[in-house]
Amino acid sequence: MPPRDPREIQLEIDAARESLAATLDQLAYKTSPKRVATQGKNAALQFLQSPPGIALVAGLGLLVTVGVVRKARYRKGGKRRRR
């Protein structure tokens, strides 16, 4: 194998360095905490505004309401119902 020209080696090193820098910039952009949080927030809002999301929120609201009413009745009566 003939010896390589130092300028050619330096050009290859520079090209590899630029490629690595571009890859690192892409990774930094894709994994930015602020960007990831914004994407998650947008996805959650989009889901909650869809029919399944609305049904989920309504169901959770109903469960919380039933739980609060049962707890209020239990405290007010002072006794537990026996089955």
> Is the predicted pLDDT of residue 37 greater than 90, yes or no?
yes
Task: Using DSSP, state whether 83 is helix, strand or coil.
Answer: coil
pLDDT of residue 82: 58
Share of the chain above pLDDT 90, in %: 80
Does position 81 have pLDDT exceeding 60, yes or no? no
Each residue of 50-79: pLDDT tens digit? Answer: 999 999 999 999 999 999 999 988 887 655
Q: What is the dihedral of CA 47, 48, 54, 56, to 10 degrees?
A: 80
Find where tokens 């630029």 sit. Answer: 18
Structure tokens at 33: 């905490």
Give percent above pLDDT 70 in the chain: 92
| Distance of alpha carbon 26 from alpha carbon 38, whole angstroms | 17
